[in-house]
Amino acid sequence: MIKTTNLSKVYRTEEVETTALNEVDLEIKEGEFVSVMGPSGCGKSTLLNVLGMIDSPSGGDYHFMGEEVGRLSERKRSNVRKHNLGFVFQSFNLIDELTVYENVELPMLYTKVPAAERKQRVEELLEGMNIMHRRNHFPQQLSGGQQQRVAVARAIVNRPKLILADEPTGNLDSANGDEVMKILSQLNSEGTTILMVTHSQYCAEFGNRIIRMLDGQVVTENLVKQYL
């Protein structure tokens, strides 16, 4: 599904040049659950942003589903992104002015899913996430765990091939963090590929493979368990 060769990302200002990714070679197969670990500033989130086509690489190759996407225009990257990727962030990134229902529905408006199908998908997900009773509430009226469940529902409503999760349990207590990890594991068991950045060894071991980064490079890869 994902293959990078010598993938690099350099940030430049007038005075400073910072290498966030340094010739990263990476391969992620369809159906895997891969965890990325490493100290702050090692390039984990930059890798996620480049693989999520939010940011473009400075050098190297990035193939997604067999297509070179690293050099696509922002418009074309956006089109690939909205039809294939779902994002879960540490800070939830829900829109405060929209209800729970509207937050989950939003990605389908961009992909022009018909209204009746949007309603069915949103209601099924809210039921499955045990959040249906909060459908007309706004994000600030929810607990952190409830907000993250809404964020996961929004990430998967378009049935993406790949979920990119950036510290998805970072703002949650252990019980709610466990709940989110079980949801991600269930999605993976149903066939969704997951790439997750985490500081937690416990969360990382929900994946089948753990990649460790340092100074913008992949330094180790460990197989936790075989994936189906």
pLDDT confidence bin for 198, thresholds 50/70/90: very high
**Residues 97 and 76: beta-carbon distance below 8 Å:** no
Mean pLDDT of the chain: 93
Half-sphere exposure of 112 (CA within 13 A, CB side): 1
User: Of all residues in the chain, what percent are helix, strand and coil, respectively (each to 5)?
Assistant: 35, 30, 35
**What are 23-59's pLDDT values in tens digits?**
999 999 999 999 999 999 999 999 999 999 999 999 9
- How many whole angstroms separate alpha carbon 80 and alpha carbon 61? 16
**Measured distance between the N- and C-terminal CA atoms of the chain, rounded to whole angstroms:** 15
CA–centroid distance for 190 within its chain: 16
Among the listed ranges 83-87, 138-142, 173-177, which one has the minimum average pLDDT value?
173-177
Q: For residues 93-117, give the mean pLDDT.
A: 95
Q: How far is CA 17 from CA 9, 28, 38, 170, in A?
A: 11, 29, 21, 29
**What are 138-165's pLDDT values in tens digits?**
999 999 999 999 999 999 999 999 999 9
- How many whole angstroms separate alpha carbon 5 and alpha carbon 81? 20
